[in-house]
Structure 1
């Protein structure tokens, strides 16, 4: 089993960050490479579509609004891994109006090396956190 974690300090309150990312169906609000998400199974399953039209189906495994964290597994995806479980958490930074967002995952590579799988998901997490930071800190440019 392989693991990876990416984290980023974002100059926004933990409450504001969680308000944006805490909904299991909220990825299109802050992750540009996931333009659509549809919930099913009472809100416990999300079907995502990426920019290329690929489908990723994920199940909510745990949710704690007070602790600002949720975990999910992958039911269907074009990734070369099995047993995928990921957690997204927003932490307070004591004495600052800053949130530390952590995105971590565990998985078993299937047909690729541990290092290749780790690089794949670490890149997804790091790019996602950068997009989140951009969404929260860059003024809306739409007309």
Structure 2
């Protein structure tokens, strides 16, 4: 199983960051790659659409409001992986009220691509996503 993780310190309190990204259906609020999200099954599944019209379906597998993190599994996507599970979490930074570290990590089995190709793909998605989050918070 392959994995990758990206983190970034952002110029906002953990509470503010979590308020923006903590909803499972909130990706369109901060991630330009996902302009549409439709909640299904009472909000435990989200149907995402990317700018090319491709559909990604993900299931929430863990959610912790007080610790500010959630994990999800991909059920359907145009990615060359199986067994994909990802976690996004917000950490407080001791002594810095207006800063938070966001970590986005995932593990998966490559299918139809090399491990390095898939690690590079998701590392890029996570990095670009956290850059977009930083820009949204700075706006």
Fold match (TM-score > 0.5): yes
Compute the displacement of 1:33 (Å).
1.4
Compute the displacement of 1:42 (Å).
1.1
- Residues in 2 aligned to 1:105 and 1:33: alpha-carbon distance in whole angstroms: 17
Q: Which residue is 1:6 aligned to?
A: 6
Figure out how many residues of one structure are paired with residues of the other and give that number: 138
Query: For the aligned residues, what is the CA RMSD?
Result: 0.4
- Residues in 1 aligned to 2:32 and 2:83: alpha-carbon distance in whole angstroms: 26
Q: Which residue is 1:88 aligned to?
A: 88
Q: Which residue is 2:138 aligned to?
A: 137
SS at match of 2:63: strand
In structure 1, runs of 5+ residues without a counterpart are 139-143
Report matched runs for 1:21-36 at 5 Å: 21-36=21-36
Structure 2 length-normalised TM: 0.98
Structure 1 length-normalised TM: 0.96
Q: Does 1:62 align with 2:59?
A: no
- Residues in 2 aligned to 1:24 and 1:31: alpha-carbon distance in whole angstroms: 12
Q: Which has the higher strand share?
A: 2
